[in-house]
Structure 1
Amino acid sequence: MHREQSMQIIRAGRLLPARADGYTGAVCVTVGDDGRIAAVERIDPGTLEPSEARLLLMPALSDAHDHGRGLSPLAYGAADQPLESWVVALSAQPQVDPYLNALVAFARLAESGVCAVNHCHNTQDGTALLAEAEAVSRAARDVGIHVAFAWPFFDRNPLVYGPLSPLLERLPEPLRARYATPRAMRSCAENMALFAKAKAFEHDLFCLQYHPVAPQWTEEATLGAIARASARDGRHIHTHLFETERQREWADHAYPNGLVRFLDDIGLLSPRLTIAHAIWLRDDEIALLAERGVTVATNVSSNLRLRSGMPPLSRLIDSNIGICFGLDGMALDDDQDMLRELRLARLSFARDPRLLDAFVLNASWRTGRRTIVGEDGGGDIAVGAPADLFTIDFGTLASDTLLEVPQVFPLVLARARRQHVVDMFVRGREIVSNGRCRTVDLPAAERLLVQNARAAYRAMPVACDEIDALQRAIEDYYTCGCHFAV
């Protein structure tokens, strides 16, 4: 790749277009001082240097649903298991520097070709959410990728979906008193006040969204307040919906007329809303969500690891609803590989895969991006589009091809991994070079994060027996159908 004047010229042997039948030949892209594409020219491949000829250029990817986990849950013993018991194990997480945690997470995403992420923030310290948001804002600026900070509203059902007393009955006597009074949760009014203060942290790579964590975890009045606030200010809303069968069962009993219909009645369903997971949706609900312009962010790796089920991708695509993809901080191999996630999603569609190549990539290039940064013309390699681009080593992907003209789409979607990412640009700025994040020292940040986490873990009381007891009680709570009570 040839770079002049702060990397204003990008040359590659191949281009991956928005359509499977589009031009895939050698290309030269010129980036203007405004960070947008000034020119896209077809060029003679014979003019390229060997290192340039190996490259495939495409729009950078989006991660439409993530949690910014620089420290993996596996690091502190939160093994993969069904969601309802898995979240209990997250209490063993040691408190680490929120800036360092986000910095590592964002740099890893950048090295996977991701230029934009919807960061659903999990607070480490409920009293320090504002400080954590400021730290994430700094990390976004320092790494240099687009981050939408989904501000968490969590004020309902802190332990189980439904009445607390049946859970307490299943706990050992010493634990009942501790969990009889759940930890304090931020009220909607307090959260809205903090949200207003956090607007001071916004910059050209960082914006706030409303994040009612999920209907089972958010009071109805809070959901209504968020719907009204979004209608006034136009900000996006991001939530989890029907991730597990237990959530589906709870909703069917708590909302006999339909939870999705209730969300529509209070004004939450709109083109500003993105719902994550959406595994247990019914056809009438899918139709209503599509009619309202809602976007669905699917998370195949996470759904497999947490035993949640597989998203109804074929039914979703038949409805013409907007679909995008996220890693959820739970990539299949715990490595934040967005390219592999797209492959898994493609293989999950019960359709002719030849019809899906361009669709899957466009879902990441455009649909997912839109849920993070809005409509900005991104996700395309065209004059005027933001120069959010990345290259992969196509020479390696096609090293054994016998075809005179290699099949670009099938090779990328069947073989590409984060190890093949060469360069990644955000607004023309080179964030990744030769496969490594150049804006921050990721290996050093990773070492420091692990060092700090180990020190914090040694200093904290980790009650493994208590976690095990709570997990067993929760599993029995749902097995016995206690969440059916309303």
Structure 2
Amino acid sequence: MAGRIVETLEVGAVLAAPGRGPASGPALIRIDHGRIAAIEPLGGSGNGLMAIAAPVNAHDHGRGLRTLAFGAVDDALESWIPTLGREPKLDAYRRAAVAFARMAEGGICATNHSHGPQDETKILEEAEAVSRAARDVGIHVAFAAPFTDRNPLVYGDQKVFLAAAEPSLRPRLEGRLAPPKAVGDFLRLFDEMAAFEHENFSLQYCPVGAQWVSDASLAAIAEASALNGRRIHMHFLETRYQREWADHAYPDGIVRRLDELGLLSPRLSLAHGVYLTEAECELLAERGVIVSVNTSSNFRLRSGIAPVAAFVKAGLDFGAGLDAQPMDDDDDMLREMRLLYLNHRGFGLDDVLTPARLFEAACADGRRAVIGLDGGGRIEVGAPADLLVLDYAGMAPDLLSAKADPTNVLLTRATRKHIVRLLVRGKVVAEGGRATGIDRTALEAELLAEARANWNAAPPDDEATAAMKRAVRRYYGCGCHFGAGLR
């Protein structure tokens, strides 16, 4: 379980509104029942610590064993997805707990966990294990329960893809062309998962992506969400191949079609949105949708650069996500925020993304995508005590001016090594570089031992993986996903 409950927190400075106002302090933050009860000024020069609202990981997959470990080497998403099958079977609790603990150590107070099942017949057991992991680590976890019912191999005509594949691979692929799952069964299973909810664990619907879920099922999920108020989280327009497929499949516009199906609402969050148009951003903003910008992942998987300038122009809310593919594989949310900022602040003399908008996205808007409206993502009386305490003195030993803007210091130098403590609902969930609720080092060693044993017992078929990647490249390279013929 997460660590001790904190009733008072003394810091040298409180940066309540990064980019909007100066830091205050020194201060004593009083916490009662998981919320900020008072912020009292203190005398003296302070202790060198700074409190900010804890950031949120708006899109992730919670893989305790990182993808490089099992040979899923960064590549274009479409040719990378087949390599995820190389992951050895792992204990679902360890797999999630190690991932969540690394997030806590990287400064993350909440995450949208887009679950990737290891065994779809055991999704209930996996959901229960993830629920336990969330409780023990202590961060907020939204469990996005996955559903797919079309395009199991590629976007478009599966028979054309079979023809693109080498003959030796085709029997393996044909085995994956089972009859589609029924959305009614999924919705009933989803309701069973509700038994695993607790204060740190909630459910969201996850139609995994428009290219993988039929219109009828998307409409059924949208209707269920409208009736019970639960949120929906899905991948959307991550790559140009998804954009090209969507333009072919929905000539009147895929975002317009999602609107017709009832999906677009303040309950929806979309991961990526790299290939959204300005007009689509305007419609999403009008409907109150939130997008997760996953900068590191979009670089690593060669997807592209999200049109954040269009998001800002349209007033489209967005958060920041790691997508289980952070730069350096270290779950450093402070570095991810800096990368997002540097990539989208504007070039030359063009000002696009301001520091204030960045922190609002990472701490407040992304939080709504995970938790909903709970008053969090800011430091004020009554807000949830989800706080990140940083060694500001360690970031700024050479500053000559006492008037230096601490927001600039954070955006230039802050990394996970400066994290002193992470509080979630007033409980210490990470301190001194370590999660407090579990022994992450020991659990990760167990996870790795299990992975090696299962890998050695059933090693992946390297030639089949390579053949699959060749077939994928041939299929998309010919434009088969938008109706072109196989060459």
Counterparts of 1:236 and 1:27 in 2: how far apart (Å)?
39
Equivalent residue for 2:164, pick from 170, 188, 195: 170
Percent same amino acid among aligned pairs?
48
Counterparts of 2:163 and 2:353 in 1: how far apart (Å)?
53
Determine helix, strand or coil for the equivalent of 1:17.
coil
Equivalent residue for 1:239, pick from 229, 234, 238: 234
- Structure 1 position 430 matched with structure 2 position 424: no
| Other-structure match for 2:313 | 318
Query: Structure 1 residues 353, 411: closer, same or farther in 2, change over 3 A?
Result: farther
Residue 424 of structure 1 contacts residue 433 of structure 1 at CA under 8 Å; is this kept in 2?
Answer: yes
Residue 6 of structure 2 contacts residue 31 of structure 2 at CA under 8 Å; is this kept in 1?
Answer: no
Query: Structure 1 residues 220, 382: closer, same or farther in 2, change over 3 A?
Result: same
Residue correspondence of structure 1 range 261-272 to structure 2 within 5 A: 261-272=256-267
Residue correspondence of structure 1 range 73-222 to structure 2 within 5 A: 73-182=67-176, 184=178, 186-222=181-217
| Other-structure match for 1:308 | 303
**C-alpha RMSD of the superposition:** 1.5
Residue 397 of structure 1 contacts residue 415 of structure 1 at CA under 8 Å; is this kept in 2?
Answer: yes
Counterparts of 2:118 and 2:402 in 1: how far apart (Å)?
54
Query: Structure 1 residues 354, 16: closer, same or farther in 2, change over 3 A?
Result: farther
| Other-structure match for 1:395 | 393
Determine helix, strand or coil for the equivalent of 2:150.
coil
The letter of the residue matching 1:451 is A
| Other-structure match for 1:26 | 25
Counterparts of 2:288 and 2:84 in 1: how far apart (Å)?
34
Equivalent residue for 1:469, pick from 467, 472, 478: 467
The letter of the residue matching 2:131 is S
| Other-structure match for 1:298 | 293
| Other-structure match for 1:55 | 49
Query: Structure 1 residues 324, 6: closer, same or farther in 2, change over 3 A?
Result: closer
Runs of 4+ in 1 over 6 A off after TM superposition: none
Q: Mean alpha-carbon deviation: is it higher for 159-168 or for 134-143?
A: 159-168
Counterparts of 1:207 and 1:291 in 2: how far apart (Å)?
26
The letter of the residue matching 1:243 is E
Counterparts of 1:468 and 1:354 in 2: how far apart (Å)?
42
Deviation readout 1:224-276 (Å, 9 max, x if unpaired): 00110011011111011100000000011111111111000111001110011
The letter of the residue matching 1:465 is E
Residue 9 of structure 1 contacts residue 28 of structure 1 at CA under 8 Å; is this kept in 2?
Answer: no
The letter of the residue matching 1:410 is N
The letter of the residue matching 2:226 is A
Task: Give the deviation of 1:183 after TM superposition.
Answer: 5.2
Residue 31 of structure 1 contacts residue 428 of structure 1 at CA under 8 Å; is this kept in 2?
Answer: no
- Structure 1 position 71 matched with structure 2 position 69: no
- Structure 1 position 458 matched with structure 2 position 446: no
Counterparts of 2:483 and 2:328 in 1: how far apart (Å)?
38
Q: Mean alpha-carbon deviation: is it higher for 236-245 or for 372-381?
A: 372-381
Counterparts of 1:342 and 1:465 in 2: how far apart (Å)?
38
Equivalent residue for 1:480, pick from 471, 478, 481: 478
Residue 312 of structure 2 contacts residue 352 of structure 2 at CA under 8 Å; is this kept in 1?
Answer: no
Determine helix, strand or coil for the equivalent of 1:323.
strand
Task: Give the deviation of 1:206 after TM superposition.
Answer: 0.4
Task: Give the deviation of 1:432 after TM superposition.
Answer: 1.2
Task: Give the deviation of 1:22 after TM superposition.
Answer: 2.3
Deviation readout 1:284-329 (Å, 9 max, x if unpaired): 1111111111111110000000000000011111111111110000
Determine helix, strand or coil for the equivalent of 1:223.
helix
Determine helix, strand or coil for the equivalent of 2:329.
coil
Equivalent residue for 2:322, pick from 321, 327, 330: 327
How many residues are treated as equivalent by the alignment?
A: 477
Counterparts of 2:157 and 2:413 in 1: how far apart (Å)?
48
Residue 289 of structure 2 contacts residue 317 of structure 2 at CA under 8 Å; is this kept in 1?
Answer: yes
Task: Give the deviation of 1:353 after TM superposition.
Answer: 5.9
Residue 282 of structure 2 contacts residue 314 of structure 2 at CA under 8 Å; is this kept in 1?
Answer: yes
Residue 309 of structure 2 contacts residue 352 of structure 2 at CA under 8 Å; is this kept in 1?
Answer: no
| Other-structure match for 2:34 | 35
Counterparts of 1:353 and 1:43 in 2: how far apart (Å)?
37
Query: Structure 1 residues 142, 420: closer, same or farther in 2, change over 3 A?
Result: same
TM-score, with structure 2 as normaliser: 0.95
Structure 1 gaps of 5+ residues are none
Residue 236 of structure 2 contacts residue 271 of structure 2 at CA under 8 Å; is this kept in 1?
Answer: yes
Task: Give the deviation of 1:485 after TM superposition.
Answer: 2.4
| Other-structure match for 2:446 | 448
Deviation readout 1:396-443 (Å, 9 max, x if unpaired): 110121222332001101111111111011111111122221111111
Determine helix, strand or coil for the equivalent of 1:222.
helix
Residue 26 of structure 1 contacts residue 45 of structure 1 at CA under 8 Å; is this kept in 2?
Answer: no
Deviation readout 1:178-224 (Å, 9 max, x if unpaired): 21242545321221111011000001110000101000011111100
Task: Give the deviation of 1:177 after TM superposition.
Answer: 2.2
Counterparts of 1:224 and 1:355 in 2: how far apart (Å)?
34
Determine helix, strand or coil for the equivalent of 2:393.
helix
The letter of the residue matching 1:280 is Y
The letter of the residue matching 1:330 is Q
Residue correspondence of structure 1 range 302-381 to structure 2 within 5 A: 302-351=297-346, 356-381=354-379
Deviation readout 1:458-481 (Å, 9 max, x if unpaired): 111411100100110111101111
- Structure 1 position 279 matched with structure 2 position 274: yes
